[in-house]
Amino acid sequence: MEEITYKKSGVDIEEGDRFVSLIAPFAKKTFRTEVMTDIGSFGALFKLNTSKYKEPVLVSGTDGVGTKLKIAFMMDKHDTVGIDLVAMCVNDILTLGAEPLFFLDYFATGRLKADKHSEVVKGIASGCMEAGCALIGGETAEMPGFYQEDEYDLAGFAVGVVDKDKIIDGSKIQEGDAIIGIASSGLHSNGYSLARKVFFDAAKFKIDTNVPEIGAAIGNELIKPTKIYVKAFNALKGEIDIHGMAHITGGGIVGNLPRILKDGLRAVILKDSWETPVIFRLIQKIGNVPEEDMKKTFNMGVGYIVVIDKKDSEIAISRLKEIGCNAYLIGSIEKGDGKIRYI
């Protein structure tokens, strides 16, 4: 009888060890002084500097990249989806005013290919460096027969900290406040099931089809990484009293901004107050997608929202533009039913 080994069943431990040796330098570049363990420990230690906070509160979040991974598979380009992973998690905890501290990832695949898949972790490390957090650990799962050989899935976990008296939870939002929209880099990591159906099923595009309206191949547009808004928040905090923040992900503005509104308030959005990237109008035109579906699916060019006192709107927009973030006054808060009203 032929000898059956773990490697013959589809799991290559040696390749896994090589993978760890390739990704360890990426992770170490992200280490903050608070990191107390090296790569490979059963758990990761992070010493919280309590002297920086009067009453520290930990903030956590988890997310994935969704079917945007299909674009990475189609392009065989894997060095940016890790940035998406970090962005989706960090931008969420940022809405509460948290400083991102550390990040962990979960990577699962049918067959581990160390050279190719280390590019994913390289992207995660790049995202962590941009966010100022440490990539202190993770899990790599080789699962033959569960995932197709050339596919993988990602999940991320972010932990941050904020002083209790500096938590931003929307409770300070009031009638008359200004709504500042910060530009997205494109689709970010939401709506890809619809976008893929429009471009690859309806329009019959190939991943390298050049699209004159965007001046690039469709794949290059769709693979653009999600913007990380930590630097934008840091440019405002301390100078401007932020009443509330929202990360505009799946559900768009209509699904995410109401999450931070108190009872008795609603948001008025000026629909022509910012520049909508061409990619969104292209999806709508080619797919004959209803306007309401577009608003409920995509960020439509606004990836992050900050709600502040109206008197601070000009200085906020100025500070954001100084660091290279396009920002717009896109609306205001009024009394109402907790929903969004477009005018």
Where would I find the H helices in 110-156? 114-131
Q: What pLDDT score was predicted for residue 7?
A: 83
By the 8 A CB rule, do 304 and 256 touch? Answer: no
Q: 200 and 272 share a domain?
A: yes
What is the per-residue pLDDT across 113-138, written as a single tens digit (0 to 9) for each?
999 999 999 999 999 999 999 999 99
Average pLDDT of span 74-98: 98
| Number of folded domains that form the chain | 2
Q: Do residue 200 and residue 316 come from a single domain?
A: yes
**What CATH number did the domain enclosing 64 receive?**
3.30.1330.10
- Tokens for 6, please give them: 């773990």
Q: What is the pTM of this model?
A: 0.96
Residue where a domain terminates, one of 166, 194, 229: 166
Identify whether 248 is part of a domain.
yes
Considering the domain architecture, whether residues 22 and 79 belong to the same structural domain is answered as: yes
Q: Are residues 127 and 195 located together in one domain of the fold? A: no
Rounded to the nearest integer, the mean pLDDT of the chain is 95
- Inside any domain, residue 8: no
139, 166, 193 — which closes off a domain? 166
Same domain, 195 and 321: yes
The CA distance from 341 to 64, in Å, is 30
Residue 301 shares a structural domain with residue 325: yes
Is the CA virtual torsion 315, 316, 320, 326 positive or negative?
negative
pLDDT of residue 10: 80
Query: Does the pLDDT at position 27 exceed 80?
Result: yes
Q: Is the model's pLDDT at 12 over the cut of 90?
A: no
Same domain, yes or no, for 206 and 294? yes
Q: Are residues 189 and 276 in the same domain?
A: yes
Residue 4 lies in a domain: no
How sure is the predictor about 4, in pLDDT bands with cuts at 50, 70 and 90? confident
Rounded-to-integer distance, Cα 243 and Cα 236, Å = 12
Residue 290 belongs to a domain:
yes
- Asked whether residue 41 falls in the same domain as residue 147, the answer is yes
Give yes or no: residues 278 and 156 share one domain. Answer: no
Q: C-alpha dihedral over 140, 145, 148, 151, to 10 degrees?
A: -10
Structural domain ending residue among the three candidates 116, 145, 166: 166
Residue 2 covered by a domain? no
User: Is residue 186 assigned to a domain?
Assistant: yes
The answer to whether residues 31 and 102 touch, using CB atoms and an 8 Å cutoff, is no
Flag whether pLDDT at 141 surpasses 80. yes
For residue 106 the two structure tokens come to 């979960």
Domain with 195, as residue range(s), is 178-342
47/195 same-domain check: no
**In terms of domains, do 239 and 260 share one?**
yes
The neighbouring-strand residues paired with 139 are 106
Return d(Cα 196, Cα 190) in angstroms, integer.
11
pLDDT of residue 11: 81
Residue 245's CATH number: 3.90.650.10
DSSP code per residue over 220-280:
HHHTPPPPP-HHHHHHHTTTS-EEEEEE--TTHHHHHGGGGPPTTEEEEE-TTSSPPPHHH
Q: List pLDDT tens digits, range 199-232.
A: 999 999 999 999 999 999 999 999 999 999 999 9
